[in-house]
Amino acid sequence: MRVHAKRAGALASGLMLPAMSMADWTVNMSPGVTSTSNEIFSLHMTILWICVVIGLVVFGVMFWSIIAHRKSRGHKPANFHENTLVEILWTIIPLVILVVMAIPATATLVDMYDTSEADIDIKVTGYQWRWKYDYLDEEFGYFSNLATPLDQVQNRQDKGENYLLEVDNPLIVPVGKRVRLLLTANDVIHSWWVPALGIKKDAIPGFINEAWFQVDEPGVYRGQCTELCGKNHGFMPVVVEAVPGEEYNTWLAEQKAAARKERELTRQDWTMDQLMARGKKTYQTACAACHQPDGSGAPPAFPALKGSAIATGEKMAHIDIVLNGKSGTAMQAFGGQLSEVDLAAVITYERNAWGNNTGDIVTPKEILDYKNQK
Amino acid sequence: MAVTGVFMSSVADTHTQDHGHHGPAKGFSRWLLTTNHKDIGTMYLVFSFTMFLLGGTMAMVIRAELFQPGLQIVQPEFFNQMTTMHGLIMIFGAVMPAFVGLANWMLPLMIGAPDMALPRMNNWSFWLLPCAFLILLSTLFMQGGAPNFGWTAYAPLSTTYGPPSTTFFIFAIHIMGISSIMGAINVIATILNLRAPGMTLMKMPLFVWTWLITAFLLIAVMPVLAGVVTMMLMDINFGTSFFDASGGGDPVLFQHVFWFFGHPEVYIMILPAFGAISHIIPAFSRKPLFGYASMVYAVGAIALLSFVVWAHHMFTVGIPIVGQLFFMYATMLIAVPTGVKVFNWVATMFRGSLTFEAPMLFAVAFVILFTIGGFSGLMLAIAPADFQYHDTYFVVAHFHYVLVPGAIFGIFASAYFWLPKWTGHMYDETLAKTHFWLSFIGMNLAFFPMHFLGLAGMPRRIPDYALQFADFNMISSIGAFMFGATQLLFLFIVVKCVRGGEKAPAKPWDGAEGLEWTVPSPAPYHTFSTPPEVK
Ligand SMILES: [Cu+2]
């Protein structure tokens, strides 16, 4: 255990070095920081060594023949072509090795599948291309988006130390508590993976998968989506931050207060400027991946919003497509993903940015009314 | 039980009679209308190599983009199209047709048959392939681009969220499937009906055995693939919800059906190579194959097991623990017959009288590198560990280790082994050895570091990656460029060998055994019009 923790520490500090010297030569799995990841690591090492030993024997015999039994050395061929005893032995021995290997593998698997009795339940939802974390007992949730600036991806800016492995809002969990994840997805299949936790589980639309972990060391653990989920599959990292219990409780209180405040915002009066400012931010995180930051889209897959018939036409039709999405296309229903304020802001933004100067304001109250009338 | 001494008598005079009457027709219609197994074999091989270069070019695009972190050459949408098309083209366009080409050329020669049993269908099954691939490739130029959901086409990414060209992809898969099924029927009919008198099943050369089993696998699983893509077609165009949860369907159903096809498919791509290698190693060891019977049983066992392991591709989708355990145990079991094969090959080399011409070099590399791919396969079979390996570069390393030195080195070994028979000339041994060493080094440089990348946490199918993966990716790209460029040398060697070179005797390899070496080189247009006698 202690060795494992140290190695994990070494790996983590490896990740902290500045950009260029960061490139490292890690050649093996890391043992990780949970009991599951440690068990997996030891299974991995066991089977690896078994393979190495078998390989040495087999390739040893082979290279001996290659070197010693060459025609150029005048070696005369033997003529044997079967030997029942040998053939039985090299069927039975591998079988025994496999059985020996299967025992600890089974035990680990049983352990991984035991998702009962969790202290905290968090619902993880995969979206194209971000994660949403809902704290089921606490009535709040938030999105976790890639935080690496596009300029770094496009090589216009130096890449940061956590390039592509950083998010705006990591998943926060307390140390020493058993956390259960309920994984699902909103559109296509995603897969939630954090190597240090030893968890990789598919997030499948319409179905719920379960996984659990308990971290005892505070720290930041990084991973990625591992199921091809479309264009930005490579750009939806997972970051988990394990914090001490007290810190977690303070954070929890803050989040709950913020969620309450958010609900109050809906009732507040908003000016065009306020909505535009907020809308721009929402647009960049939630919409720009498909419709592009300048509203030009990527036709034919993703329509332009700049000058689009919907974004410059009937207000209701615009609200409708953003809230309800369009089934059968990549345009999702954002009604449940964004708050009323953000929805109002982003729609106002789309109706007034990039020369779409409709002058329309959509208020959070209008969104609420629209939702209620349904 | 060995294949030694399975010979012939009446061959030498049969072909002389053939000379006067019909040889090949002239010009393009020879190739369009031909029903001759040698012509069709040649067309399959040429087609396969063309696809190999095309799919390889796509791999070069992928490796060029991954040379450094950041997006440089292509955008993610196009990157995904490249990974998808690379996979589809290599599997259905390069590897499978190459083995069908080898089957066409060699099966009749090995069993002493005058041709394939169903020559017209043979022509048809070949010509369907260029049609299928024209359709598939045309999607690159369609609105919304080519399929971009990986060769595995997981729903709903490929259905609800797929590009408009998906319907064409489905159509192309259907045509390829029909072609493969017809090819397989032909192989089975040929092997079961046209063997020379005296050639009992347990005297059949191993290449014939492995192809027979492969053909049964094809007939069993290609319809399953057709079924699953038809369900996709219905979901996309006719409003069904097989894979759409919001309509009561199940996205995981797609994966079950797909991998029920997909796992036997990987054996379809390797078993014929097992067969060819089992001829080449004894030939250059000058010693009979060790354990002929156990080789046959091992191939049969692998083929049967391949039907009950499909969910090992799906350990992370959340199947119940009992299922998880079953698929883990079944998958681990495959290691036993596979091990038997490797041990047999090594035992064949042991105390032989070895020389290392190009076919043998490729064959030895096959055994070593395929075994490494087998080891990583065994590791992947351990379900809990697979939670870490799954969908990372470790898997990419694994299947390239079984497919490149497995299937593709197997094909190169076979090509060099039988080129003298096909062309009547010896190929240039120095160039061929250069081809081998460059391929060998390039291949290992390209794919070995991928193990490290996967273990360090790099997911597959991503166009850009975190900085700690930079060094190994660069090495891998360099290796891939080297491997890719080297294949042009192969083209040169083959063209050179077709056009001239030292005359090849009927049996250019002193240790080789089998009926194919009893006919002259090049093999006449018609062979074995009178069946040879096998003792
Ligand atoms: Cu994803």
Whether A160 and A232 map to the same domain: the answer is yes
CB-CB neighbours of B400 under 10 Å: 23
Pairwise CA distance, residues A363 & A355, whole Å: 20
Closest CA to A235 of A170, A158, A166, A309: A166
8 Å CB contact of A230 and B80: yes
Q: Please pick, among B14, B34, B165, B338, the residue that the annotation labels catalytic.
A: B338
pLDDT (0 to 100) of residue B13: 40
- The CA distance from A131 to the nearest CA of chain B, in Å, is 17
Pairwise CA distance, residues A231 & B463, whole Å: 9
% of chain A at pLDDT higher than 90? 59
Amino acid at B157: L
Minimal Cα distance from A192: which residue of B? B316
Whether A64 and A141 map to the same domain: the answer is no
Reported as a single tens digit per residue, the pLDDT across A120-173 is 999 999 998 899 999 998 888 899 999 999 899 999 989 999 999 999 999 999
Residue B392 is given by DSSP the state B
- The CA distance from B73 to the nearest CA of chain A, in Å, is 10
Whether A237 and A145 map to the same domain: the answer is yes
What H or E segment, with its residue span, contains residue B67? none
Handedness of CA B129, B362, B64, B491 (dihedral sign): negative
Final residue before a domain boundary, out of A80, A113, A146: A113
| B10 tagged catalytic | no
Q: How far is the CA of A237 from the centre of ligand 1 (A)?
A: 9
Reported as a single tens digit per residue, the pLDDT across A172-191 is 999 999 999 999 998 899 99
Task: Output the DSSP codes for B12-66.
Answer: HHHHHHHTTS--PPPSHHHHHH---HHHHHHHHHHHHHHHHHHHHHHHHHHHHHT
Cβ–Cβ pairs < 8 A, chains A and B: 299
pLDDT (0 to 100) of residue B2: 38
pLDDT (0 to 100) of residue B473: 95
Strand partners, A171: A240
| B50 tagged catalytic | no
- Residue B364's pLDDT band (cuts 50, 70, 90): very high
CATH number at residue A282: 1.10.760.10
| B304 token code pair | 């049967």
pLDDT (0 to 100) of residue A291: 93
- The answer to whether residues A69 and B349 touch, using CB atoms and an 8 Å cutoff, is yes
Please calculate the CA angle B450-B452-B453 and round it to the nearest 5 degrees: 60
pLDDT (0 to 100) of residue A374: 58
Which phi and psi (to 5°) does residue A111 adopt? -60, -45
Return the HEC string of B433-476. HHHHHHHHHHHHHHHHHHHHHHHCCCECCCCCCCHHHHHHHHHH
CA-based end-to-end distance of chain B: 13
Whether A289 and A196 map to the same domain: the answer is no
Q: B-chain residues within 8 Å CB-CB of A71?
A: 286, 353-355
Residue A306 is given by DSSP the state T
Whether A253 and A124 map to the same domain: the answer is yes
- The answer to whether residues B54 and B142 touch, using CB atoms and an 8 Å cutoff, is no
CB-CB neighbours of A70 under 10 Å: 15
Is A274 a residue whose pLDDT tops 70? Answer: yes
Pairwise CA distance, residues B387 & B380, whole Å: 9
Is B98 a residue whose pLDDT tops 50? Answer: yes
- Residue A365's pLDDT band (cuts 50, 70, 90): confident
Is A304 a residue whose pLDDT tops 60? Answer: yes
Ranking A221-230, B421-430, B521-530 by mean pLDDT, the lowest is B521-530
Q: Which domains does chain B have, with CATH numbers?
A: 39-240 (1.20.210.10), 270-520 (1.20.210.10)
Is some CB atom of chain A closer than 8 A to the CB atom of B241?
A: no
8 Å CB contact of B457 and A223: yes
Average pLDDT over residues B110-133: 95
- The answer to whether residues B253 and B307 touch, using CB atoms and an 8 Å cutoff, is no
- Residue A99's pLDDT band (cuts 50, 70, 90): very high
- Residue A15's pLDDT band (cuts 50, 70, 90): very low
CB-CB neighbours of A273 under 10 Å: 8
Pairwise CA distance, residues A218 & A211, whole Å: 20
Mark which residues 424-463 of B lie under 8 Å from A by CB: 451-452, 455-457, 459-463
Query: Which strands form A199-203's sheet, in the order they lie side by side?
Result: A171-174, A237-243, A219-225, A190-194, A199-203
pLDDT (0 to 100) of residue B421: 95
CATH number at residue A92: 1.10.287.90
Reported as a single tens digit per residue, the pLDDT across B35-89 is 999 999 999 999 999 999 999 999 999 999 999 999 999 999 999 999 999 999 9
Final residue before a domain boundary, out of A217, A233, A263: A263
Pairwise CA distance, residues A324 & A313, whole Å: 17
Whether A237 and A352 map to the same domain: the answer is no
| B353 tagged catalytic | no
Whether A81 and A130 map to the same domain: the answer is no
CATH number at residue A146: 2.60.40.420
Reported as a single tens digit per residue, the pLDDT across B137-193 is 999 999 889 999 999 999 899 998 999 999 999 999 999 999 999 999 999 999 999
Domain interval for residue A198:
120-263
pTM of whole model > 0.90? no
Average pLDDT over residues B394-399: 96
Pairwise CA distance, residues A283 & A32, whole Å: 36
On whether residue A236 sits in a domain, the answer given is: yes
Question: Who contacts A5 (Cβ-Cβ below 8 Å, separation ≥6)?
Answer: A33, A217
Q: A-chain residues within 8 Å CB-CB of B353?
A: 69-71, 75-77
On whether residue A366 sits in a domain, the answer given is: yes
8 Å CB contact of B384 and A109: yes
Pairwise CA distance, residues B124 & B114, whole Å: 19
Pairwise CA distance, residues A188 & A201, whole Å: 14
Instruction: Measure Cα distances from A231 to A206, B70, B159 in Å.
Output: 22, 15, 15
- The CA distance from B61 to the nearest CA of chain A, in Å, is 17
- Token look-up 């799995």 returns A29
- Residue A248's pLDDT band (cuts 50, 70, 90): very high
pLDDT (0 to 100) of residue B18: 44
Is A3 a residue whose pLDDT tops 70? Answer: no
Final residue before a domain boundary, out of A113, A137, A170: A113
Whether A167 and A210 map to the same domain: the answer is yes
- Token look-up 């489905």 returns B170
- Residue A299's pLDDT band (cuts 50, 70, 90): confident
Closest CA to B65 of B51, B77, B54, B79: B79
On whether residue A274 sits in a domain, the answer given is: yes
Is B15 a residue whose pLDDT tops 50? Answer: no
8 Å CB contact of A161 and B467: yes
8 Å CB contact of A206 and B387: no
Q: B-chain residues within 8 Å CB-CB of A65?
A: 346, 349-352, 354
Handedness of CA B66, A289, A161, B150 (dihedral sign): negative
Whether A231 and A352 map to the same domain: the answer is no
Q: B-chain residues within 8 Å CB-CB of A128?
A: 161
Residue among A52, A101, A146, A200 with most chain B CBs within 10 A, to mutate? A200
Q: In this structure, what is the dihedral angle of CA atoms B146, B152, B153, B155, given to the nearest 10 degrees?
A: -160
What H or E segment, with its residue span, contains residue B309? none
On whether residue A369 sits in a domain, the answer given is: yes
Handedness of CA B168, B173, B178, B180 (dihedral sign): positive
Minimal Cα distance from A234: which residue of B? B462
- Classify A287 as helix, strand or coil: coil
On whether residue A93 sits in a domain, the answer given is: yes
8 Å CB contact of A105 and B288: no
Q: Is the backbone peptide bond immediately before A129 cis, with ω within 30 degrees of 0?
A: yes
pLDDT (0 to 100) of residue A368: 84
Domain count, chain A: 3
CB-CB neighbours of A80 under 10 Å: 14
Whether A278 and A363 map to the same domain: the answer is yes
Q: How far is the CA of A191 from the centre of ligand 1 (A)?
A: 6
Q: A-chain residues within 8 Å CB-CB of B340?
A: 87, 90-91
pLDDT (0 to 100) of residue A12: 42
| B267 tagged catalytic | yes
8 Å CB contact of A202 and B160: no
- Residue B23's pLDDT band (cuts 50, 70, 90): low
Q: Please pick, among B115, B235, B513, B516, the residue that the annotation labels catalytic.
A: B115
- Token look-up 């609900």 returns A263
**Mean pLDDT, chain A, whole residue set:** 87
| B437 tagged catalytic | no
Q: How far is the CA of A348 from the centre of ligand 1 (A)?
A: 29
- Classify A215 as helix, strand or coil: coil
Is B307 a residue whose pLDDT tops 80? Answer: yes
pLDDT (0 to 100) of residue B246: 85
8 Å CB contact of B347 and A205: no
Amino acid at A74: G
Q: B-chain residues within 8 Å CB-CB of A29?
A: 388, 455-456
- The answer to whether residues A174 and A137 touch, using CB atoms and an 8 Å cutoff, is no
pLDDT (0 to 100) of residue A74: 85
Closest CA to A186 of A81, A336, A357: A336
Q: Please pick, among B203, B312, B390, B435, the residue that the annotation labels catalytic.
A: B312
- Token look-up 């955008």 returns B75
Whether A191 and A275 map to the same domain: the answer is no
On whether residue A253 sits in a domain, the answer given is: yes
Is A198 a residue whose pLDDT tops 90? Answer: yes
Question: Who contacts A134 (Cβ-Cβ below 8 Å, separation ≥6)?
Answer: A122, A123, A125, A140, A141
8 Å CB contact of A65 and B466: no
Is some CB atom of chain A closer than 8 A to the CB atom of B10?
A: no
Pairwise CA distance, residues B10 & B315, whole Å: 56
- Residue A258's pLDDT band (cuts 50, 70, 90): confident
Helix axes B37-65, B119-138, angle to 10 degrees: 20
- The answer to whether residues B349 and B286 touch, using CB atoms and an 8 Å cutoff, is no
Q: A-chain residues within 8 Å CB-CB of B459?
A: 193, 224-226, 234
| B11 token code pair | 């061959």
Minimal Cα distance from A30: which residue of B? B456
Amino acid at B242: F
Average pLDDT over residues B408-425: 96
Task: Provide the pairing of β-strand A190-194 with A140-144.
Answer: unpaired
Q: B-chain residues within 8 Å CB-CB of A198?
A: 387-388
- The CA distance from B117 to the nearest CA of chain A, in Å, is 33
- The answer to whether residues B489 and B434 touch, using CB atoms and an 8 Å cutoff, is yes
Is B96 a residue whose pLDDT tops 50? Answer: yes
Whether A318 and A366 map to the same domain: the answer is yes
| B15 tagged catalytic | no
Is some CB atom of chain A closer than 8 A to the CB atom of B202?
A: no
On whether residue A25 sits in a domain, the answer given is: no
- A25, A29, A227: residue with CB nearest B471: A25
Amino acid at B262: G
8 Å CB contact of A101 and B332: yes
Minimal Cα distance from A165: which residue of B? B466
pLDDT (0 to 100) of residue B22: 59
- The CA distance from B182 to the nearest CA of chain A, in Å, is 33
Strand partners, A177: none
On whether residue A238 sits in a domain, the answer given is: yes
